[in-house]
Structure 1
Amino acid sequence: MACEGAGAMRGRGWAAWVMAWALLCAGPAFAAETKMPPGLTGGWGGARGLLYELGVALQVRYVTELAYNARGGKGHALRQAGQLNVGLGLDMEKLAGLKGGTFQFTFTHRNGNNLNADMELGNLQLVQEVYGRGNVGRLTQLWYDQLFWDERVHLKLGRVTMGEDTADFPCDFQNLTFCGAQPGNIVGNYWFNWPVSQWGTRLRVDVAKVAYVQLAAYEVNPRNLEEAFYLGRFNGATGVMLPLELGWNPKFRGDLLEGLYKLGFWYDTSNAPDVFLRDVERAGRYGLYFVARQQLTHVLGAENTAQGLNVFARLTHADRNTSTQDGQYTVGLGYTGVFGRADDDVGFALGTTHSNGRYVHAQRLKQAQDPATVVPRTEYLGELYYSLHATEWLVLRPNLQYIRPGGDEDARNIVVLGLKGALTL
């Protein structure tokens, strides 16, 4: 899972960043918040609010995902996976007089089991997006972000996740297809999303009130996948990831209908083996992506500006020389304010992950020599969820997933019943 999707809020202030982190992008809202997010443990006798006013935000969040395969796989089973996030955000203007400065530390610990693997579902994308990268504690964020020139220039550096600023997208859905920065879903062997961090920097320049240009540079180092807690690796890098992103953040009908559109290209300087040709190494890996989110309607007089209908579309294409999966495409819609509940929302999405034909051909040739070789295909799926905001600190999100798996062309179609829960402490 990624705390990704806060891109529309970047540069809008301390309170906006704190709320974006605390919610872990759990809702379709675009607008910045201006209050300290509540938690199960309350205000600690006023200490929590006082620290916040002084510029110190303590962030504790637990996300859990249950998944049961009613159809597909070698049997039926219920599996749980979860993630604990503990964070510290510092407003450096309040604390040290550094206007526009923000420091963020985040520790994550994942736990649980993977239904995909345990029941041999044969799919490409996880049905529990919060699972992955080991049941270990990790340093996920340790960075400093500084605004310059009337907050038009944003510079971040430190230990970062690739998807928190680049191609970022919220994790409303439980299937990984619809969660986080899409490139990491198909080329996760070198694009590392949350919770894996790497050394990196991001420079964003706002060229207008509603547009920006962003260039980032991230270390590409397989050692970052090692299942251990560490501050950083200083050797083992294979190259540098260089993503370029253009963004447009329009608002219509008097700022009530906000959108976010991104077009990006990435290039990794690392060498990589060709997925079809034996003993051939390619110089560099690359791809492009597009992200669109738009609120279409608004409920007049509603306190929650996100109430109404919103839609999204995403596409990512990776080079066919080095990628076993070379494309992912999704569309979806959501409505906030259902059944008279201001914050409850419902969402539906369709998606596909495309297996690279060159890699499929290579696997068929291997299968001719070894019948046990698994041959992939393109994966198709849909997911429907209802999000119940039971309290200000508890969100429960039952969901239904239907999947034609792509990891094994002989695998049966899958039906998964899921439940995603998020608790802010």
Structure 2
Amino acid sequence: MRGRAFGAWVLAWALLCAGPASAAETKMPPGLSGGWGGMRGFLYELGVAIQVRYVTELAFNARGGKGHALRQAGQLDVGLGLDMEKLAGLEGGTFQFTFTHRNGNNLNADMALGNLQLVQEVYGRGNVGRLTQLWWDQLFWGERVHLKLGRMTVGEDSADFPCDFQNLSFCGAQPGNIVGNYWFNWPVSQWSTRLRVDLAKVAYVQLAAYEMNPRNLEEGFYLGRFSGATGVMLPLELGWNPKFHGDRLEGLYKVGVWYDTSNAPDVLLAGVERDGRYGIYFVARQQLTHVAGVENKAQGLNVFARLTHTDQDTSTQDGQYTLGLGYTGVFGRADDDVGFALGATHTNGRYVTAQRQKQAEGSDTPIPRTEYLGELYYSLHATPWLVLRPNLQYIRPGGDEDARNILVLGLKGALTL
């Protein structure tokens, strides 16, 4: 498979496994099961990439909630990537199929932590199997134009961000963290298309269209719902991928807006429907230092910043802001890294007013507020196919203003089979 097309497939898996990866990577991903007597590498050279991964996240609330408990959540992913140029002579064509199955329990709910963001980001959307990817990506005009069609998740192309951390605030496409009722991140897919045009070597513009269909949240494996759509979501993104200091310090900067044509209820005014939903996001990642003479070009210090704003008419949470840094190559281990991040999820003031009105009428509904948190992790790349990531999360919960502050001890693991 050509470097760019195949690298995009590898990167999608790397985001699940919570590890840095380059979009230009061309080596076959390693696995616990080895090379299958040479068959795995043979298929790979033919353009057939088979990948199986399991991600698990343990979380224990040492403080906060109604008690103390240890909970596990996990996800199995089985994927097939095809380079259609090698297989069938179709230049620039790539096919991707991915099946996911989630399992486990949610510490947030089981211990009534009262927070807005999951402390186990891999949990959610039901303990069921799903068709997560079924798409064709085609390159045109000297690989400057990318047209993608099929079933895909919004966050794999728009506002995409790796899941190095265990708290959902720092994982995946940020808009899906606060308006997940219609921006569907992994593993929920929908019928969609994305057109990306590379304006220059380091810049691009892309426009996508996603069918907004609440039925996609129904639990169960299916090829796609063909009825029930409420509208179309249109994200527009501009990206800049510069390299500084002699191409040693790579950065990635994105700004995007989206508009969903679906009607949605007003969060304050009962019975009022709003025409459309919208928002804006910004993502920045930058490597700040470089270690000369090492094989892993990612070694050094890097930082990231993200922010998302949504409309206040229809969103219960109207903003999320995160800032973090990491260092790769700690303790003399080339691939090990440490990361630290701070974040805030802002609750829409109009929604808070609505909840206070309900409480005044006798309801026992909790009153939300802004959620603040921090997370620290160490990532041990024990083998090429096993990553272990202990982490510590401290949270001032935002789902209930009366909830106690939370301390969570976590462990994230990713195994490539």
- The counterpart of 2:209, out of the listed 207, 217, 222, is 217
1:5 corresponds in structure 2 to none
Separation of aligned partners in 2, 1:263 and 1:178: 17
TM-score normalised by structure 1 residue count? 0.96
2:114 corresponds in structure 1 to 122
Compared with structure 1, are the counterparts of its residues 22 and 192 closer, same or farther at alpha carbon in structure 2 (3 Å cutoff)? closer
Q: Alpha-carbon deviation of 1:246?
A: 0.4
1:189 corresponds in structure 2 to 181
SS of 1:390's equivalent in the other structure is strand
Separation of aligned partners in 2, 1:340 and 1:19: 26
2:259 corresponds in structure 1 to 267
Measured on the aligned residues, the alpha-carbon RMSD in Å equals 1.0
The alignment-based identity, stated in percent, is 85
CA contact (8 A) 1:288 1:317 kept: yes
Deviations 1:239-295 (A, max 9, x none): 000000000000112221111000000000000010001111100000000000000
2:44 corresponds in structure 1 to 52
2:398 corresponds in structure 1 to 406
> Residue type matched to 1:423 in 2?
L
1:24 corresponds in structure 2 to 15
The within-5 A match list for 1:48-127 is 48-127=40-119
CA contact (8 A) 1:15 1:36 kept: no
Number of matched residues? Answer: 415
- The counterpart of 2:355, out of the listed 357, 360, 363, is 363
CA contact (8 A) 2:3 2:25 kept: no
- The counterpart of 1:179, out of the listed 154, 171, 176, is 171
Separation of aligned partners in 1, 2:353 and 2:5: 51
The within-5 A match list for 1:298-313 is 298-313=290-305
- The counterpart of 2:277, out of the listed 276, 282, 285, is 285
Separation of aligned partners in 2, 1:381 and 1:103: 39
- The counterpart of 2:343, out of the listed 336, 351, 358, is 351
> Residue type matched to 1:19 in 2?
V
Q: Alpha-carbon deviation of 1:27?
A: 2.0
Compared with structure 1, are the counterparts of its residues 394 and 50 closer, same or farther at alpha carbon in structure 2 (3 Å cutoff)? same
2:232 corresponds in structure 1 to 240
CA contact (8 A) 1:295 1:311 kept: yes
- The counterpart of 2:322, out of the listed 330, 338, 347, is 330
1:383 corresponds in structure 2 to 375
Compared with structure 1, are the counterparts of its residues 354 and 246 closer, same or farther at alpha carbon in structure 2 (3 Å cutoff)? same
Separation of aligned partners in 1, 2:370 and 2:306: 17
Unaligned runs of 5+ in 2: none
Q: Alpha-carbon deviation of 1:12?
A: 4.9
CA contact (8 A) 1:29 1:305 kept: no
Separation of aligned partners in 2, 1:236 and 1:41: 42
Displacement over 3 Å in runs of 4+? 28-31
Unaligned runs of 5+ in 1: 1-10
Separation of aligned partners in 1, 2:293 and 2:216: 48
> Residue type matched to 2:254 in 1?
K
SS of 1:19's equivalent in the other structure is helix
Task: Choose 201-210 or 369-378, whichever is displaced more.
Answer: 369-378
Deviations 1:105-128 (A, max 9, x none): 000000000000000000000000
Deviations 1:55-86 (A, max 9, x none): 00001000000000000000000000000000
CA contact (8 A) 2:8 2:23 kept: no
